[in-house]
Amino acid sequence: MSARLHQEYTATVDRRMPWGVIALVSDGTEVLIDNTKTGHASLDPGVEVRLVVLDDSRTPARGSLMNDDFIIARRLRGGVEKA
C-alpha cells in the first residue's frame, strides 16, 4: 500500500458515492475523500487530484483535498507550510 499517513499523492478519481469519491494512487491503492474534504471540487471519474492522506490505518485510506490539511501534514512531516 503506497498511501502513507501525511504523504501527498497525485491520484485519479475512480468513482463517486453519495458521501465522497474513491481516488486511486499510482499502485491502485484506494483513498476515500469524504465530501467534507473535497473543497466542493467537481470530481468526476478520470479527474486527477492532488491529495494528502489523513488516515492510513483504514481501508480504504482517508484523504483530503483541503489546503489546511496539506499545511498540517507538511508541518507534521517537518516540511514547508506553503501549498
Alpha helix positions (H), 1-83: 67-77
- Give which of 46, 80, 56, 58 is closest to 7, Cα–Cα: 56
Q: Report yes or no on 28 lying in a domain.
A: yes
Please state, as a whole number, how many other Cβ atoms lie within 10 Å of the Cβ of residue 3.
23
DSSP, res 36: G
Find the CATH number of the domain harbouring 49: 2.40.50.140
Q: Report yes or no on 55 lying in a domain.
A: yes
How many domains does the chain divide into?
1
Domain that residue 32 falls in: 8-77
Q: Report yes or no on 2 lying in a domain.
A: no
Model pLDDT for residues 19-69, shown as the tens digit of each residue: 999 999 999 999 999 999 998 777 999 999 999 999 999 999 999 999 999
Cβ 34 vs Cβ 43: under 8 Å: no
Average pLDDT, integer, range 67-83: 83
